[in-house]
A and B are shown apart, each in its own frame.
Chain A
Amino acid sequence: MNNFRKLVDKIKPNFLPGGKFEKLHSTFDAIETFLFVPNTTSKSGTHIHDAVDSKRTMIVVVIALIPALLFGMYNVGFQHYNAIGQPEIGFWSMFWYGFLAVLPIVIVSYVVGLSIEFAGGQIRKEEVQEGFLVTGMLIPLIVPVDTPLWMIAVATAFSVIFAKEVFGGTGMNIFNVALVARAFLFFAYPQSMSGDKVWIRTGETFGLGGGSVVDGFSGATPLGQVSTATTANVDVVNMFGEQYSLMDTIIGLMPGSIGETSIIAIGIGALILLITKVANWKVMLSVFAGGIFAGLIFNQFGPETASANLPWFMHITLGGFAFGAVFMATDPVTSSRTETGKWIYGFLIGVLAIVIRVLNPGYAEGMMLAILLMNIFAPLIDFYVVDANIKKRLKRVKVTTSERVNK
């Protein structure tokens, strides 16, 4: 490590003003501060330092995402080998297959996003910011495993440029960057993002797996089955028509976007985020409360459709609801900043997600659109919360002054 530090110090003058690679200063700075703790200290004034900086915050979120990622990899292999009729192949083969299928998506997302971030920092002559560490991990987890890599690249580039860089980079974006990438894919290439063909990878991956699917196979996601059902009640089934129990939906060995299926893996991530206080528990809790509330309302008074009759707890465990609630809604940049606002913001996300699922037959999943919509409203919520507070305090001032006059 010491030798490495010496090497970095040796090449450093090249990147400082006047050096050979002066123009690449931002890039060098980003790599240096990523590898080593910066040794610069403040020169004037009083500064309060905390152990938490945005790099550390980002890394905690990435660590919280790891369980969902690992489980997603295993699930990809599990679905694949079950679809081609070799369920006995064993845990490690399944994991290895999923690992090879998911890893390219992660790499493409990071390479494309980070290159744009570095180029952006370079052009603006600013430090490269670390916001993409989380986004680059979120994007692979919210797409179907069979999404072509070039689509991931295009969507990542679009969202980093138009949802983030044009607004001023990390911390300035109005919308959740990963969700913008997902929305771009959803509207630009709907045939690769919906239906029942894309959720289970049936082809071979780097020579592994592959084969024809077994008879009676269907790759529809549980929510896809619910939204296309013609009867008023429907049992969500796996690819062979066997019904999923509530426990199955919590464990999450079912078709879906890579990271969204397992409530257990997401729950571990949620615990990490809550214990380290990186995510806000109010937002997380109120999203679930909103979802349960809307689910119960539809169960009681909803129209006679399969999605309205889907039990409220299944609405929470199926699809991207839990993933969105834990990792997307809690994004500190795009959610409400005021404490009361966080309750309103989260609750409305939960309600809207279920409303979109139940009332719009075109969208099997509503979490993405619900969060993006509430991202727009977050500043408005904050504005009225602050405004209400000011009015309340003004009233108090008037009361005390009038009392004084009366005396």
Chain B
Amino acid sequence: MKLLNTKSKGVLLGPLNKNNPITVQVLGICSALAVTAKLEPSLVMGISVIVIMALSNVIISLLRNTIPNRIRIIVQLVVIASLVTIVSEFLKAFAYDVSAQLSVYIGLIITNCILMGRLEAFAMSNRPWESLLDGVGNGIGYAWILVAVGFFRELLGSGSLLGIQIIPEALYEFGYVNNGLMMMPPMALILVACIIWVQRAKNKDLQEEQH
């Protein structure tokens, strides 16, 4: 028995590249700018979004036939908000430093457009298993961009990765200086733009028509 048929595979893997929530749909940009100055918070943020997205997708998918259509947004928000609160409390208890660094942005996952978008567009009309795959796929699609941006920003901006010094001391004595611009939000935007650039150069069907 195959674990994933073709459709499920597309649901899971599509958001990683051709249907990426950040680089193609341009959703969730604010958090991508705000938390990616260091690699660790980007990782934690990415994982939190994967968990919340997968669970909320499954829950809404299970409830989809019982939710009255008029109040569906409220129900979706209640589900997301409860999950976000659980994750936020969990981080405060077990990873306080990171939680402090992420500050309001964990709470703001509630307003992350990607979550509402997937619930409305996918979970409301699909079965739980596909919804789970869709949630995980979009979560990973979001997370890998964050991690890639966080990787370069911490490496070039602080000379370290996950707080461990990577760029050797000898280089600093030689005159190397960390790039302060990398620590500022605009550079996250430019790095995301670089990812978009590479992605579109490789995928012909993502390119707009030339005039």
A187 touches B180 (CB 8 A): yes
From residue B152, how far is it (CB to closest CB) to chain A in Å? 14
A184 touches B177 (CB 8 A): no
- Would you call B190 an interface residue if the criterion is a C-beta within 8 Å of the partner chain's C-beta atoms? yes
Considering only residues 168-183 of chain B, those with a C-beta below 8 Å from chain A are 175-177, 179-182
Binding-face segment, A27-35, A188-196, A305-313 = A188-196
Of A150, A187, A190, the most chain B CB neighbours within 10 A belong to: A187
- Give B161-202 as 1s and 0s: 1 = Cβ < 8 Å from A's Cβ atoms: 000000000000001110111101000001000000100000
User: What B residues does A189 contact at CB under 8 A?
Assistant: 177, 179-180
- Give A188-228 as 1s and 0s: 1 = Cβ < 8 Å from B's Cβ atoms: 11111000000000000000000000000000000000000
A151 touches B177 (CB 8 A): yes
Q: How many residues of A contact B (CB 8 A)?
A: 13
User: What B residues does A38 contact at CB under 8 A?
Assistant: none
Q: How many residues of B contact A (CB 8 A)?
A: 10
User: What B residues does A184 contact at CB under 8 A?
Assistant: 181
From residue A132, how far is it (CB to closest CB) to chain B in Å? 21
Q: How many A-B residue pairs have CB under 8 A?
A: 22
A150 touches B175 (CB 8 A): yes
Whole-angstrom distance between the alpha carbons of A154 and B180 in the complex? 13
Of A184, A189, A191, A192, the most chain B CB neighbours within 10 A belong to: A189
When C-beta atoms are compared, the residue in chain B nearest to A148 turns out to be: B175
Contact of B181 among A148, A187, A191 (CB under 8 A): A187
User: What A residues does B176 contact at CB under 8 A?
Assistant: 150
Whole-angstrom distance between the alpha carbons of A150 and B174 in the complex? 11
When C-beta atoms are compared, the residue in chain B nearest to A191 turns out to be: B177
User: What A residues does B190 contact at CB under 8 A?
Assistant: 162
From residue A156, how far is it (CB to closest CB) to chain B in Å? 15
User: What B residues does A150 contact at CB under 8 A?
Assistant: 175-176
User: What B residues does A162 contact at CB under 8 A?
Assistant: 190
User: What A residues does B181 contact at CB under 8 A?
Assistant: 184, 187-188
Whole-angstrom distance between the alpha carbons of A192 and B197 in the complex? 31
Whole-angstrom distance between the alpha carbons of A153 and B33 in the complex? 27
User: What B residues does A148 contact at CB under 8 A?
Assistant: 175, 177
From residue B109, how far is it (CB to closest CB) to chain A in Å? 30
B182 touches A188 (CB 8 A): yes
User: What B residues does A187 contact at CB under 8 A?
Assistant: 180-181, 184
From residue B110, how far is it (CB to closest CB) to chain A in Å? 33
Considering only residues 172-191 of chain A, those with a C-beta below 8 Å from chain B are 184, 187-191
Whole-angstrom distance between the alpha carbons of A148 and B175 in the complex? 8
Whole-angstrom distance between the alpha carbons of A150 and B176 in the complex? 9
From residue A267, how far is it (CB to closest CB) to chain B in Å? 34
Whole-angstrom distance between the alpha carbons of A150 and B177 in the complex? 10
B175 touches A190 (CB 8 A): no
From residue A164, how far is it (CB to closest CB) to chain B in Å? 14
From residue A312, how far is it (CB to closest CB) to chain B in Å? 33
User: What B residues does A191 contact at CB under 8 A?
Assistant: 177
Of B175, B182, B197, the most chain A CB neighbours within 10 A belong to: B175
When C-beta atoms are compared, the residue in chain A nearest to B181 turns out to be: A188
From residue A120, how far is it (CB to closest CB) to chain B in Å? 14
B177 touches A192 (CB 8 A): yes
Whole-angstrom distance between the alpha carbons of A148 and B197 in the complex? 30
Whole-angstrom distance between the alpha carbons of A15 and B171 in the complex? 42
From residue B159, how far is it (CB to closest CB) to chain A in Å? 13
Whole-angstrom distance between the alpha carbons of A227 and B172 in the complex? 30
When C-beta atoms are compared, the residue in chain A nearest to B186 turns out to be: A187
- Beyond contacts A188-B179, A188-B180, A191-B177: 19 other A-B pairs, Cβ-Cβ < 8 A, are A148-B175, A148-B177, A150-B175, A150-B176, A151-B177, A154-B179, A162-B190, A166-B197, A184-B181, A187-B180, A187-B181, A187-B184, A188-B181, A188-B182, A189-B177, A189-B179, A189-B180, A190-B180, A192-B177
Which residues of B are in contact with A by a Cβ distance under 8 Å?
175-177, 179-182, 184, 190, 197
Give the 7 A-B residue pairs with the shortest CB-CB distance, closest first: A188-B181, A188-B179, A187-B181, A188-B180, A189-B177, A148-B175, A190-B180
Offer 13 A-B interface pairs, CB within 8 angstroms, sorted by A. Answer: A148-B175, A150-B176, A154-B179, A162-B190, A184-B181, A187-B180, A187-B181, A187-B184, A188-B180, A188-B182, A189-B177, A189-B179, A190-B180
